[in-house]
Amino acid sequence: MYNLPGPKSSELWDLDQNYVIAGRSNIADKVHLVFERGKGVKIYDTDGNEYLDFSAGILTACTGHCHPHLVKKLQEQLEKLWHVYAFPTPQRHELCRQLTEITPEGIDTFAFYCEGSITVEAALRAASSYTKSWAYAAMTHSYHGRTLLTRSLGTHLLPKKFGPTVSATHLHYPYCYRCPFKMKYPQCSLACIESAGDLLQSGTTEKHAAVIFEPIVGAGGIIVPPQDAWKRLAEICREKDMLVIADEVLTGVGRTGKFLAIEHFGVKPDITTFGKGLGSGFPVMVVAGKKEILSASPFGEAGGGGSSTSFGGNALSTAAALGTIEVMEQEKLLDNATRLGEEIKQRIGDWPEKFRIVGDVRGMGLLWGIELVKDKKTKEPDQNSWESIYEICLSNGVRLVPNRICPPLTITAEQLHHGLDIIEDAIRKVERA
């Protein structure tokens, strides 16, 4: 067990605080660690302590840390060219070609960015350019970013102290563990989704351009909806001439065992966003969709600036994305995610019965959530226990994001079960305390 933070981490943390605001992340501010290197599934702090990275950076280290193939690809590109703004590079069309082969049918056009919120906003600009409407529908419990527009879409998680937001119609996310209608699936007949028609009708006097949703909720607690939920939502929205946008910034790039999570639900989105894992740590975000939609003016207009961005699609990020896709194919990482996802299901599926504070577990592939509660009947959330579990896991060599299990797709079964042993022991200790 480590005594954290170590002296070097403490010293460097204090130096850092002279310049950087504290509001970065509660998982960083909780234990003052400074990390200096990573290799594969493991990361190391400045005191030499080793950790299994069960958060994959923040779901960004798809192929682990400093994968040799990625290091080689980036070294080669470093000696050639870094950045030329909007001009093509020899590799960009190849990246796009490969993306058309691994994304759902109909996706054939791409725009590149560096950050999730900006990418989501670009997707909405594209939708409005095509539909000539500027009202949007989103889902409860979702998270789409921290800009004015994106936090208006996902109001559940962010502090109200940020002030006013823009108008958006919010539909009920199919969150079966906390059903707003107090019903059970499938007897409910998807009442949450069926309510979308009325909510869209009463939500605004304007015509909605699009509905945007996370196929599996990420930051809101890894919520997996019923299999038929998104097909029905897409039917309702398309009857109203709305575009369907799947926000896969967190769930995409193989995390669930398919390249995009929406593939599990049999829906072909008009537009999708993805990217957290695409650059294996380098910033690569993508708006992807049909050419007819993404080329609409002003978003797709040459010189209009509707899709322009300073750093999106730069040569280094493109090389990282190509390298990531190559590693995913060569090492069969989608198969690994699917196989280990089943092992996680078998391993933690009975935790709600085994532990008093575990209310629910759910997930797919290498993306799982553990919901802690103070009381099984009231389902009152228990964030304090998660903070204690997080600290215990760190002290025993596992870094995670509270309420999530999301290691790199390169993790082995042995590493996975070792990490789960530590998490299970931490839950047991906190429950006894």
For 109-135, give the DSSP string: EEEEESSHHHHHHHHHHHHHHHH---E
Q: By percentage, how much of the chain surpasses pLDDT 90?
A: 84
Average pLDDT, integer, range 418-427: 98
Neighbours of 37 (CB within 10 A): 11
Residue that the structure tokens 């994001």 belong to: 401
Q: Which residue's entry shows tokens 């990217």?
A: 275
* pLDDT surpasses 90 at 383: no
Helices 92-102 and 315-330, interaxial angle, to 10°?
40
Give whole-number Cα distances, 373 to 88, 219, 253, in Å: 51, 17, 31
pLDDT at position 228 over 70: yes
What is the tens place of the pLDDT at every residue in 135-180? 999 999 999 998 888 988 987 777 667 766 788 999 999 999 999 9
**Cα–Cα distance for residue pair 228/312, rounded to 1 Å:** 35
Position 23 pLDDT exceeds 70: no
Radius of gyration of the chain (CA): 22
- On the question of a cis peptide bond just before residue 298, with omega within 30 degrees of 0, the verdict is yes
User: Are the beta carbons of 414 and 41 closer than 8 angstroms?
Assistant: no
In the predicted structure, residue 203 carries a pLDDT above the cut 80: no
Phi, psi of 385 (to 5 degrees): -65, -35
Instruction: State how far the Cα of 159 lies from the Cα of 173, in Å rounded to an integer.
Output: 20
Per-residue pLDDT, averaged over 324-330, amounts to 98
Name the region of 407 (left: φ>0; alpha: ψ -120 to 50; beta: rest): beta
Determine the topology of domain 71-330 in CATH. Answer: Aspartate Aminotransferase; domain 2 (3.40.640)
Please give the pLDDT value at position 311.
Answer: 87
Q: Which residue has the higher pLDDT, 166 or 207?
A: 207
pLDDT of residue 167: 80
Mean pLDDT of 347-370: 97
Tell me, what's the pLDDT at 379? 95
Q: Which two tokens stand for residue 182?
A: 């107090």
The pLDDT confidence band at residue 414, using thresholds 50, 70 and 90, is: very high
Give the pLDDT score at 164: 63
For the ranges 38-47, 240-249, 301-310, 350-359, which has the lowest average pLDDT? Answer: 301-310
* Per-residue pLDDT tens over the stretch 64-79: 999 999 999 999 999 9
What are the boundaries of each domain within the chain? 71-330
What's the whole-number average pLDDT of the chain? 94
pLDDT range class, residue 323, cuts 50, 70, 90: very high
Please give the sequence-ordered ranges of beta strands (E in DSSP) within 214-262, or none if there are none: 243-248
Q: Decide: helix, strand or coil at residue 106.
A: coil
Q: Which helix or strand (DSSP H or E) is residue 237 part of?
A: helix 229-239
Could you tell me the pLDDT band of residue 402, with boundaries at 50, 70 and 90? confident
When pLDDT is cut at 50, 70 and 90, the band that residue 202 belongs to is confident
Q: How much of the chain is in helix, strand and coil states, percent to nearest 5?
A: 40, 15, 45
368 pLDDT above the threshold of 90: yes
Give the three-class secondary structure for 263.
Answer: helix
In this predicted structure, the answer to whether residue 127 has a pLDDT above a threshold of 70 is yes
User: pLDDT at position 159, please?
Assistant: 67
Q: Is the pLDDT of residue 26 over 80?
A: no
CB atoms within 10 A of CB 364: 23
In whole angstroms, what is the distance from residue 285 CA to residue 278 CA? Answer: 7
Q: Are 313 and 286 in contact (CB under 8 A)?
A: no
Beta strands in 312-366 (DSSP E): 358-364
| Largest Cα span, the chain | 63
- Token pair in block for residue 349: 């599926």
CA atoms within 13 A on the CB side of 382: 22
Do the beta carbons of residue 288 and residue 272 sit within 8 Å?
A: yes
What distance in Å separates the CA atoms of residue 351 and residue 73, rounded to the nearest whole number?
A: 42
Kindly give the pairing relationship between strand 208-213 and strand 135-139.
parallel
Helix axes 333-348, 315-330, angle to 10 degrees: 70
